[in-house]
């Protein structure tokens, strides 16, 4: 069986992996439609311009960018991005950050601002608090007095750790989707959300010495323009989502469809439940469809097959019949909706040959019935047969309200969902 053999007329070509992928592993999606890399700096050597463009308080050494070194209270140093960055409407940004702040009352941080001084995102640390902000006063960044500080959300943290920051910036919708986590194999999510911002482009990276003389370190600064940005085309569109725990979110309410809808300002109604199957049963996805609203959405998104992928009970013909019946029921109930099937990642928790059989059946039926495929299986590198992927990108339970790590390989955590969102977005546009 050839797992990659499939008709091409209705299938998406490979797309870029989102910025929400945690920095514990280097990941990427294969294919021609890769993200446009604007900056990819590991600081292994001196940069051009020197010190990443910061005029004061910065140096590159030992594979790190150091900022706010020897700067006075309430002072700033500003890196200005070039015109190519400023013109982009959608950006993904990832970087690692650590502070050496150790004295109570001291605070250092970085701010992202637009050409008019509006805030895009901010991150800072005190001796005992990690802070981030998405709103705050307009600032020309010539100084950083208390009156111009962002409106901080404050979290207890371990200042000895590195933190990975992943941002999706949409200046058409004026929204930011953020993920802040510890930079370690068993990463702990510190904050995740989607927020409206006033920023309209990305022009400045501002190193702020709010108070004290503490140094910050930055590493692995990667800025990309997504290959398939929606750029506002999905705003206000309606989505119904069906399927199993991978769509439902498992023990966390924000699954991949939630993060996609948040990011694109869509209206989502989610019917998916844990344990759902394509084959007949108490949680059959077909029953979700039958019980859903009759009002037509713009998009019907579903997955299915994970809970059918057991070799001792899998019957190819029966599964194919049930899958086709599910699609036809969707088409009959909502004839004007665009139907998108999510082909889930390569699962280390299921029999491989059964996964391949399900993949062949579902892709053939989707091609025959005009269903668009958001092909996470084929178009991303997420493969939880690889143990490091299983640990970093899946979860069983939550930690402090967010998905943890070290799952069975089935349920993507927030970093794992980062593989799903750009593929689903591309499918819908």
Mean of pLDDT values over 371-379:
98
Mean pLDDT of the chain: 92
Mean of pLDDT values over 67-84:
97
User: In terms of pLDDT, which residue wins out, 414 or 105?
Assistant: 414
Confidence of residue 104 (pLDDT cuts 50, 70, 90): confident
256-280, pLDDT tens digit by residue?
999 999 999 999 999 999 999 999 9
Q: Is the peptide bond before 49 cis (omega within 30 degrees of 0)?
A: yes
> Residue 213: pLDDT above 50?
yes
Instruction: Report the alpha-carbon distance of residue 96 to residue 333 in Å, rounded.
Output: 47
111-146, pLDDT tens digit by residue?
999 999 999 999 999 999 999 999 999 999 999 999
> Residue 308: pLDDT above 60?
yes
| pLDDT score recorded for residue 103 | 87
| Residue showing tokens 């902000």 | 133
| pLDDT score recorded for residue 348 | 98
Domains, the chain, in order of start with CATH, read 36-225 (2.60.120.560), 238-428 (3.40.50.1110)
> Residue 228: pLDDT above 80?
yes
| pLDDT score recorded for residue 29 | 37
Q: What is the pTM of this model?
A: 0.91
Confidence of residue 5 (pLDDT cuts 50, 70, 90): very low
| pLDDT score recorded for residue 33 | 59
> Residue 23: pLDDT above 90?
no
385-423, pLDDT tens digit by residue?
999 999 999 999 999 999 999 999 999 999 999 999 999
| pLDDT score recorded for residue 31 | 33
């Amino acid at each position: 069986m050839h797992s990659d053999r499939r008709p091409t007329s209705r299938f998406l070509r490979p797309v870029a992996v989102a910025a929400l992928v945690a920095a514990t592993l280097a990941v990427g999606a294969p294919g021609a439609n890769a993200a446009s890399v604007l900056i990819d700096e590991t600081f292994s050597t001196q940069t051009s311009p020197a010190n990443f463009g910061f005029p004061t308080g910065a140096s590159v050494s030992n594979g790190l960018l150091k900022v706010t070194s020897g700067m006075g209270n309430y002072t700033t140093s500003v890196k200005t991005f070039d015109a190519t960055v400023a013109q982009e409407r959608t950006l993904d940004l990832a970087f690692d950050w650590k502070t050496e702040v150790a004295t109570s009352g001291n605070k250092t941080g970085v701010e992202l601002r637009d050409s008019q001084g509006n805030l895009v995102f901010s991150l800072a640390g005190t001796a005992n608090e990690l802070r981030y902000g998405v709103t705050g006063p307009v600032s020309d960044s010539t100084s950083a007095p208390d009156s111009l500080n962002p409106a901080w959300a404050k979290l207890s943290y371990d200042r000895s750790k590195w933190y990975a920051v992943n941002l999706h910036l949409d200046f058409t919708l004026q929204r930011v989707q953020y993920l802040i986590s510890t930079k370690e194999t068993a990463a702990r999510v510190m904050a995740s959300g989607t927020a409206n911002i006033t920023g309209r482009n990305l022009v400045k990276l501002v190193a702020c010495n709010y108070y004290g003389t503490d140094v910050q370190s930055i590493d692995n600064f990667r800025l990309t323009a997504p290959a398939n940005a929606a750029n506002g085309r999905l705003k206000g569109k309606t989505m119904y989502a069906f399927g199993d725990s991978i769509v439902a979110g498992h023990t966390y309410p924000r699954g991949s469809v939630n993060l996609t809808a948040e990011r694109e300002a869509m209206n989502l109604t989610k019917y998916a439940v844990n344990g759902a199957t394509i084959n007949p049963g108490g949680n059959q996805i077909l029953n979700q469809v039958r019980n859903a609203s009759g009002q037509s959405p713009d998009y019907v998104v579903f997955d299915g097959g994970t809970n059918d992928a057991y070799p001792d009970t899998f019957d190819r013909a029966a599964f194919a019949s049930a899958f086709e019946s599910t699609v036809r029921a969707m088409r009959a109930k909502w004839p004007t909706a665009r139907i998108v099937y999510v082909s889930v990642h390569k699962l280390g928790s299921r029999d491989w040959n059964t996964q391949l059989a399900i993949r062949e059946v579902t892709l053939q039926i989707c091609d025959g019935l005009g269903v668009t495929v958001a092909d996470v299986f084929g178009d991303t590198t997420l493969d939880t047969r690889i143990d490091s992927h299983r640990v970093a990108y899946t979860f069983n339970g939550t930690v402090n309200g967010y998905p943890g790590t070290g799952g069975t390989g089935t349920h993507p955590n927030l970093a794992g969902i980062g593989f799903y969102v750009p593929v689903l977005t591309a499918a819908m546009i």
